[in-house]
A and B are shown apart, each in its own frame.
Chain A
């Protein structure tokens, strides 16, 4: 059992929890993820590590309430426990001093882009960041992103805060203005990462994306997370989660993310009707 030490509502549907997992925190690095289970009857879901504190032995996880598991997770308070926290899984981001880099975070993807931007900054890169969300309510961590970026652009789809634009628009303008970033990191919903990749491809700007496919074990055992990259089948959990965005078969990823849409609806309805049926007393 893993204790939640702190919880914060970043937005009405976006929550932050700090969970005690000393062994995982000791090894965690930017770009990696954990697999968690909320309770004994819960599913295993991957969450990217938003931050970690090796001394306190804690991990910061940020999630958006989109289905039963994340909504159930959203009911947890400081002092509650998670049944499992496994990790750190996947490869860490390859952090080096590349020169100038761009970090793009969309929606809940702002959380995992933060530690990557921070490490890139720490080793001496010029970090230009673009963060965006559908509206003002879904934005968070602007201050933290600003603290690790040389420049920061904030966008919202509806213009309720910052510039009214998709993250791809300022990105395209920068590239058109002649900026030649050594690398671009983009993390967010698959559709956003797809369009970031399509935007950067004509400029030949190397673009790294962190794929969020469905997983079960997260250790290479099941193959649920398989994607096609450069025509090769790859397992996101052990070979990723970061891949070259220009090589990813985005339509396959988007289709595979929809495998259980009907079941997700059923699970949510069942939960709303019957409540949590685990034996953990939550």
Chain B
């Protein structure tokens, strides 16, 4: 078939009516022949714009070319020159605003399904056996990576490949960060996360679990222990609440708590697993980001009959990935736009009974550039609900900074860091991911981990010293793998 006649290939998915009763993965991945067909659509641009849209600069045309020529091993090898975690990225990246947004085919029609191809090639490798890349000879330098989330895992993987001895310190009992406690099984199966973590560990990275840096060990302890460099990738883990009356009633969850119970602690398999979660018939999720979609769809799978997303802006401002909104709508999640809670009320036993909301109108753009939602006076109404899940975003956890000297932070609690190198205001300490940017995406955290790893490598190999610490990136060329 001529290339122009091939349409963008749909990815098979579990039927919505079936999947709302289970936690199995919703999107099923391309079969090989469909992946090859989709790969035919790529124009192999000489100046590929898609790569510019990728925070880790995956050589997209090259991996797609190898795939369509049937060289699957070559395809994944090309992929992994830039991306240590492709099975994860293929599932959770917002491709429609990154690589696929810049695909030339997208100007007149549908862009190449780059994310689905990435997922296909990563899943193929996981099934057939993971190849180990070349690792540089040991440098004798030691790096501590704090946090085993997307930023930390990426930085650790790259640093190990550069030849440094890396130890990751993780506060929870399982590695993965938001990939393991936040994103549900039906969107990102935990054996996929486990396999990608195992790949990073196979590069010679050590992992210490149950270790809360700032409590069990401090940054000063780590330097005293002889580490040459520290990378902070502790994310943005603290939940935000609205500070409205009634938020402490039983049945009100932060999305973090609800998702941690369900995902990390596997409450959906209670009582086989010990951690419970309590979801009634009617659930309201406040917020409309990916976390809100994950919470709403998880509540449905736990048996809720009526699940609503309550969002103060309109459909056009919804921050979640298009695919998540689409899947949520298919599953029957209701969207209440231009609606904001003002109070949660409860019964005499302290349980949530309902939520008072007010209707909103869109006003002038605010500092984020989006129209500011303004309450419409007198438009209050009540919703009867058994649970409220607050998915309003998160901010960095200050715990890691206990007794840490000289690391400057903003009033939002994020680290003041060089956006390119990840250098903090303290020599030998780098940071990347949500702890620098505030809550963002998995892939942007991975990009930050990657850039910081390159800068750490340059430092450890003597390309610059502590005296050059505050110099701009342009003046100090970073090393390449």
Contacts and interface: CB of A to CB of B under 8 A. Distances in A.
A complexed with B = yes
Interface of A: 23-24, 27, 37, 41-44, 68-69, 83-89, 216-217, 219-224, 226-228, 233, 238, 251-252, 255-256, 258-260, 263-264, 266-267, 270-271, 277
B260 A222 contact: yes
A220 B250 contact: no
B220 interface: no
Contact of A266 (B212, B251, B271): B271
Contacts of B265: 43-44, 216
Interface in B213-248: 215-217, 237-239, 241, 243, 247-248
Q: Lowest 5 CB-CB distances: which A-B pairs, in order? A: A255-B350, A263-B276, A222-B257, A270-B271, A43-B274
B237 A221 contact: yes
A44 B237 CA distance: 17
**Which residue among B257, B273, B399 has the maximum number of chain A CB atoms within 10 Å of its CB?**
B257
B173 A221 contact: no
Contact of A86 (B216, B239, B251): B216
Contacts of A69: 274
B241 A223 contact: yes
Given A43-B265, A88-B215, A220-B238, A252 B350 contact: yes
Given A226-B248, A256-B250, A259-B278, A219 B171 contact: yes
Interface string B155-191: 0000000000000000111000000010000000000
Contacts of B172: 217
Given A83-B173, A226-B248, A277 B272 contact: yes
A41 B215 contact: no
Nearest to A39: B274
A86 B212 contact: yes
Given A41-B272, A267-B271, 4 more contacts: A68-B274, A220-B397, A223-B239, A223-B256
A217 B258 CA distance: 12
A43 B260 contact: no
A216 B257 contact: yes
B408 interface: no
B349 interface: yes
B260 A27 contact: no
Contact of A219 (B248, B254, B399): B399
A86 B174 CA distance: 12
B236 to A, nearest CB: 10
Contacts of B297: none
Given A43-B274, A277-B272, A219 B256 contact: no
A270 to B, nearest CB: 4
Contact of A87 (B216, B266, B278): B216
B275 interface: yes
17 contacts: A41-B272, A41-B274, A84-B173, A84-B210, A86-B210, A220-B237, A221-B181, A221-B256, A221-B397, A222-B239, A233-B241, A233-B248, A252-B350, A260-B276, A263-B276, A266-B271, A270-B271
Nearest to B266: A41
Nearest to A218: B212
A225 to B, nearest CB: 10
Q: Is the interface of B mostly helix, strand, loop or mixed?
A: loop
Nearest to A253: B248
Given A83-B173, A88-B215, A221-B397, A43 B275 contact: yes
B239 A267 contact: no
Contacts of A224: 257
B260 A216 contact: yes
B274 A267 contact: yes
Contact of B254 (A222, A227, A252): A222
A21 B62 CA distance: 49
B381 interface: no
Given A216-B260, A221-B237, A221-B260, A260 B271 contact: no
B77 interface: no
B293 to A, nearest CB: 19
Contacts of B256: 221-223
A256 B352 CA distance: 12
Nearest to A24: B216
A154 B399 CA distance: 39
B327 interface: no
A228 B241 CA distance: 14
B261 interface: yes
Nearest to B234: A219
Nearest to B275: A43
A264 B271 CA distance: 9
B276 A252 contact: no
Contacts of A258: 250
Nearest to A255: B350
Contacts of B273: 41, 43
A251 B216 CA distance: 33
A77 to B, nearest CB: 20
A71 to B, nearest CB: 11
A108 B250 CA distance: 26
Contacts of B440: none
A228 B248 contact: yes
Interface string B292-327: 000000000000000000000000000000000000
Interface string B395-418: 001010000000000000000000
Given A23-B216, A86-B216, A220-B237, A267 B270 contact: yes
Contacts of A89: 212, 215
A42 B181 CA distance: 15
Chain A CB within 10 Å, residue with most, of B211, B215, B247, B254: B215
B217 A23 contact: yes
